[in-house]
Amino acid sequence: RVADRLYGVFKVHGNYGRVFSEWSAIEKEMGDGLQSAGHHMDAYAASIDDILEEEEHYADQLKEYLFYAEALRAVCRKHELTQFELEMASQDLISKKQQREELATGIVRTFSFKGMTNKLFGQEAPEQREARLKLLEELIAEGEEAVKEKTVECEEHVERAWVDMQRFEEQKDKDLREALINYAVMQISMCKKGIQVWSNAKECFLKM
């Protein structure tokens, strides 16, 4: 919206230039002054294209940080997924250890279908019980390894993400400061050019 408004201001000066040029054609004494003023207005109006191109360059620099925000969201989603997988692996490990304890002691702490069948049909044979215990031990060992791997994965992911974010913050501050300073300098230059155009036009009018 700002660029559109600025474009309109410059194009209005183009209209001024055309009016002064056409006016100069029908004036004998003031013709030269009007024509000179019209040239100043035309030159000022034509400079908007270069200014907008420069503004687009600064806008592109800022857009890069929008893309980074998307990348940052992807990193956060990855962390959430890894954390969820770690929690699921931990819960599964806790469940397996509880099953092992119940099987070893014969005391069922929570309701289970297996506990209900034992009450209805009696305890399973010692051989079956030993086989189940052995299987649970293997599953628990695998579960502990899975939890360990997921824990390391989470920690490494957080460390890498933290380093990347710190580097980004430092670069962002530098880039944004530079872009805003350059943009301010461009705006000041543009305002000075506008003042100069009207000063030149004023001189043309005073010479009439």
49-97: pLDDT as tens digits = 777 788 888 888 778 877 887 888 888 899 899 999 999 999 999 999 9
What's the CA gap between 149 and 7, in Å, rounded?
Answer: 59
pLDDT band at 121 (very low <50, low <70, confident <90, very high): very low
Task: Tell me if the pTM is above 0.85.
Answer: no
Say yes or no to pLDDT of 172 above 90. Answer: no
Mean pLDDT of the chain: 82
Write out the two tokens for 65: 């940080």
The residue with tokens 């304890």 is 101
Residues 6+ apart with CB under 8 A from 3: 52, 55
Query: Using an 8 Å Cβ cutoff, are 31 and 24 in contact?
Result: yes
Q: What is the mean pLDDT of residues 186-198?
A: 85
> From the CA atom positions of the chain, what is the Rg in Å?
38
- Short-list 137, 47, 68, CA closest to 100: 137
pLDDT band at 23 (very low <50, low <70, confident <90, very high): confident
pLDDT for the residue 135 = 92
pLDDT for the residue 90 = 95
CA 131-107-102 angle, to 5 degrees, is: 40
Say yes or no to pLDDT of 107 above 70. Answer: no
Q: What is the mean pLDDT of residues 163-192?
A: 85
pLDDT band at 127 (very low <50, low <70, confident <90, very high): confident
Query: Using an 8 Å Cβ cutoff, are 202 and 67 in contact?
Result: no
Q: Phi, psi (5° rounding) for residue 107?
A: -100, 115
Residues 6+ apart with CB under 8 A from 199: none
Q: What is the mean pLDDT of residues 35-53?
A: 81
Q: What is the mean pLDDT of residues 164-182?
A: 85
Give the largest CA-CA distance in the chain.
Answer: 123
Tell me the residue length of the chain.
Answer: 208
Measure CA 186 to chain center: 26
Q: Phi, psi (5° rounding) for residue 110?
A: -125, 160
Helix/strand/coil for 60: helix
Say yes or no to pLDDT of 163 above 80. Answer: yes
Say yes or no to pLDDT of 120 above 50. Answer: no
Q: Phi, psi (5° rounding) for residue 47?
A: -75, -10
Write out the two tokens for 81: 């997924």
